[in-house]
Amino acid sequence: MKNIIIVIVVLVLVGGGIWAWQNLGQPEEEPIVKEPEEEFVFIDKVMIPVIDTEGAASFGDKVGWDPDIMREARETGEYIGCADRIVYIEKNIEPTPRPLEAIYRMLFMGDEIVEGTKYENPISAHIESLEFERVVIENNIARLYLSGNYISIGTCEPPRTEAVLEFAAKQYPWIEEVEIYIDNKRAEFIHGGKDE
């Protein structure tokens, strides 16, 4: 009986020693932590900014051309210049997690997006000379990259073009600023062409 107890004690000690050797002093395995997959929201409708050249014709007369009111109206798109204002038309698109990119692609389709409406897409005058490349959003700034040449057409066209490109992004509350680049240089939308 005494021998059996000794054998049991030896087996327990040897077994415990083997377990300790295998498990103690060995680095613990990192628990498998699966990163949460980034969730994309797929959008199937977008609001495209276009120009209403008739709707704000008397805007300045209504507000007495007060410079503070006019500045605020320009910032919100209610008054762009040449008695224009920004309006948005809803369009169905293929579901995408990048709705702003889809909006710019649609603007660069030209007059097709305003068919059947009384509105204008000022980008239509530039689709042969300007091309949409990409839009990057960082730190509440949308950077729009175009390639090609911009030549203004008339006095009213530059502010219309700039406004449509800006308000495409500014409709999203997290975008505070829009920077537009043509061939990686900041774009200037100034009158340089013939008068309308």
Residues 121-167 pLDDT 10s? 999 999 999 999 999 999 999 999 999 999 888 888 999 999 999 99
34 inside domain: no
92 inside domain: yes
Confidence of residue 33 (pLDDT cuts 50, 70, 90): very low
Confidence of residue 63 (pLDDT cuts 50, 70, 90): confident
86 inside domain: yes
Confidence of residue 192 (pLDDT cuts 50, 70, 90): low
17 inside domain: no
The average pLDDT across 55-69 equals 72
Query: What is the C-alpha to C-alpha distance for residues 163 and 96, in angstroms, rounded to an integer?
Result: 24
Confidence of residue 99 (pLDDT cuts 50, 70, 90): very high
Global pTM reads: 0.73
15 inside domain: no
Domain residues for 52?
Answer: 43-186
Query: What is the C-alpha to C-alpha distance for residues 157 and 123, in angstroms, rounded to an integer?
Result: 9
Residues paired with residue 53 on neighbouring β-strands, in sequence order? none
100 inside domain: yes
2 inside domain: no
- Residue 154: per-residue pLDDT: 82
**What total of structural domains would you count in the chain?**
1
83 inside domain: yes
